[in-house]
Amino acid sequence: MGVGPASAARRPDLIDAPAASSDTRDAWRAAIAVCLAAGVLRLIVAATTPLFPDETYYWEWSRHLAAGYFDHPPIVAWVTAFGRVLFGDTPLGVRFGSVCMGIVASFALVGSARRLAGASAALLAAIVFAIMPLSAAGLVLATPDAPLFAAAATMWYSLTRALEVLPRSRSSLAWWCAAGVALGVAFASKYTAVLLPFGVLVACVVYAPLRARLREPGPYLATMLAILVFAPVLMWNGRHDWVSLAFQFGHGLSRASGSVIGRELEMIGGQAGLVSPVLFALFATAVWRSLRGHGTQPVFRLLAVAAVVVFAFFMYSATRRRVEANWPALAYLPATLLLAASAKDSWRRARSMRIGLALAGLLSLVTYVNAYVPVLPVPARRDPAARAAEWDVLADAVARAVRVDTTRVHVAADRYQDASELAFHLPGHPTTYALNLGSRRNQYGLWPSFRQTARAGDDLVLVLDDTPEVPAQIVALTPHFFAVARGDSARLERGGEFVKQFRLWQLRAWRGTWPGPE
């Protein structure tokens, strides 16, 4: 139930919450229906499309549950493990937990919109979040973004509740605590969540009505709870030489060559693709209006500052290296709330809103259709969906190579993406290795490697890109095996078009030595 003026008079800890007085039952039910329908659609797509290499990489993590991993915090692995318990090692099993996290994010977001501006705003927030490609497609996949969105949206809902009651009240303290727990889960989902409390702090420092909140215990208790939830991840990093934090810091802020202007334009273009160009402009307008004082509640300024802080950080990051399109995604949760609140009464009539929603829906529809049938006017090698195509063909070729051997045989690739796809598609999901001789470090380097688990005399089937010349990895490994032979090739296609070709290499009778320092 919303909190209206009458109920506020009966509850001394509550302050004015005008958003609730405009609730209508039909609009609220429609918002819930949109969230559920979007979740069901994402679940169907999740169950019927093949896994991408990053997803099988996180699936590998879920087979080795821990408090941290090389690339990210651990929540994605635990969420994936939850789905596997229910549906096994299938696309649905791998993605089920992430789809559930997307539904949680939707409910928390529309709940916040309802508290801020009523049921009409909640319905608009539900529609926007359901149809923009960022969530329509992104929350199908088993990635850290799904639990991050769920935790961040829950945090915003809790903060909205905390700020609509009187400071230092019992209700305020309880909602600050809930926000702290949600923030800790966000930290344990993706390290970029650190931008959330920073945005809240900046807003509270620069805006006088929010500054008073820094004199109550809620924010500090929330901070302590967030750190407590995140503590196992910090402890894991400490036991592993801070490898995960160091990797992400370097991944986002190390310098790269190329044009700064080009990287900034690429980042902006990526955002337009994630939410549609028109919605992107509407988000920016809503944030700007809130920064200028639109909206009577302090929480509007808080949301606007938080969105700006997240986006500004990645604009800065783009001056140093390429920013992937989904990295600033956290900015769109508060931006969606601000857009829903500002357009709650006019969105059905506003031409720009109708165009934005229609274009976002069209982009999401094309993304869904393209997951099944190639419809994008690009070569298969450049089609994002092609990255998930026909890994079973490669796995069949590897399985045949393994069966012809009579000795103990191991399977490896050089890149973690290839190794994890092989592990998922090979019969019995055997242990595979990523040798990382020509690729960046990753989680496979923290697990027992081939050289640590194999015995002298064992064979290795190694999968590499098919090239005319002998790959550098084979040149490096040849002295460490008694015989090396070029095996079969496997051609991956999508819609009859070439995507990629792999070559199997059979390395026989390991000598017990390895390239590089022993």
For residue 214, pLDDT over 80 is answered with yes
Q: Quick check: 95 and 39 in contact, CB under 8 A?
A: no
Q: Kindly report, residue by residue over 450-502, the tens digit of the pLDDT.
A: 999 999 999 999 999 999 999 999 999 999 999 999 999 999 999 889 999 99
For residue 436, pLDDT over 50 is answered with yes
Q: Kindly report, residue by residue over 97-129, the tens digit of the pLDDT.
A: 999 999 999 999 999 999 999 999 999 999 999
For residue 17, pLDDT over 70 is answered with no
Q: What is the DSSP letter of 516?
A: S
Other beta carbons within 10 Å of 421 = 29
- 47, with CB counted inside 10 A (0-12, 13-18, 19+), is middle
Joined together, the tokens standing for residue 160 give 């909205």
Residue of 483, 500, 482 lying closest to 491 (CA atoms): 500
For residue 221, pLDDT over 90 is answered with yes
Q: What percent of the chain clears pLDDT 70, i.e. is strictly above it?
A: 93
Dist CA 487 CA 411 (whole Å)? 13
The CA-based dihedral angle spanning residues 137, 139, 144, 150, taken in that order and rounded to the nearest 10 degrees: 150
Please tell me the predicted confidence (pLDDT) of residue 258.
Answer: 75
* Sign, Cα dihedral of 427, 433, 436, 441: positive
Confidence of residue 155 (pLDDT cuts 50, 70, 90): very high
Higher pLDDT, 516 or 129: 129
Q: Count H helices, E strands: the chain?
A: 23, 5
Mean pLDDT over 65-70 rounds to 97
Buried b (16+ CB within 10 A) or exposed e, 276-291: bbbbbebbbbbbebbb
For residue 518, pLDDT over 90 is answered with no
Please tell me the predicted confidence (pLDDT) of residue 14.
Answer: 47
Q: Where are the domains of the chain?
A: 5-370, 387-510
Q: Kindly report, residue by residue over 317-330, the tens digit of the pLDDT.
A: 888 888 888 889 99
Joined together, the tokens standing for residue 484 give 């090396």
Dist CA 299 CA 237 (whole Å)? 35
Q: What is the DSSP letter of 470?
A: P
Contacts of 269 (CB under 8 A, 6+ apart): none
For residue 136, pLDDT over 90 is answered with yes
Confidence of residue 3 (pLDDT cuts 50, 70, 90): very low
For residue 23, pLDDT over 60 is answered with no
Q: What is the DSSP letter of 482?
A: E
Higher pLDDT, 113 or 262: 113
Q: Quick check: 315 and 245 in contact, CB under 8 A?
A: no
For residue 12, pLDDT over 50 is answered with no
Please tell me the predicted confidence (pLDDT) of residue 333.
Answer: 97
Please tell me the predicted confidence (pLDDT) of residue 2.
Answer: 40
Query: Kind of pairing, strands 497-510 and 459-465?
Result: antiparallel
Confidence of residue 21 (pLDDT cuts 50, 70, 90): very low
Please tell me the predicted confidence (pLDDT) of residue 107.
Answer: 98
Residue of 136, 55, 126, 128 lying closest to 97 (CA atoms): 55
Q: What percent of the chain clears pLDDT 90, i.e. is strictly above it?
A: 76
Please tell me the predicted confidence (pLDDT) of residue 269.
Answer: 86
Q: What's the distance, CA 366 to chain centroid? A: 21
Mean pLDDT over 171-186 rounds to 96
For residue 238, pLDDT over 90 is answered with yes
Residue 504 pairs with which residues in a beta bridge?
A: 463
Please tell me the predicted confidence (pLDDT) of residue 19.
Answer: 45
For residue 517, pLDDT over 70 is answered with no
Three-class SS of 208-224? HHHHHHHHCCHHHHHHH
**Phi (first) and psi of residue 215, to 5 degrees:** -95, 5
Name the average pLDDT for the chain: 91
Q: At what angle do helices 298-318 and 332-342 cross, to 10 degrees?
A: 140
Query: How wide is the angle at C-alpha 323 spanned by C-alphas 322 and 326, nearest 5°?
Result: 150
| SS3 category, 512 | coil
For residue 22, pLDDT over 60 is answered with no
* In 14-74, alpha helices (H): 18-21, 25-48, 53-62
Please tell me the predicted confidence (pLDDT) of residue 404.
Answer: 64
Please tell me the predicted confidence (pLDDT) of residue 278.
Answer: 94
Higher pLDDT, 22 or 458: 458
Residue of 266, 303, 298 lying closest to 283 (CA atoms): 303
Q: Quick check: 334 and 300 in contact, CB under 8 A?
A: no
Confidence of residue 166 (pLDDT cuts 50, 70, 90): confident
Please tell me the predicted confidence (pLDDT) of residue 393.
Answer: 95
Q: Kindly report, residue by residue over 352-391, the tens digit of the pLDDT.
A: 999 999 999 999 999 999 999 999 888 888 898 999 999 9
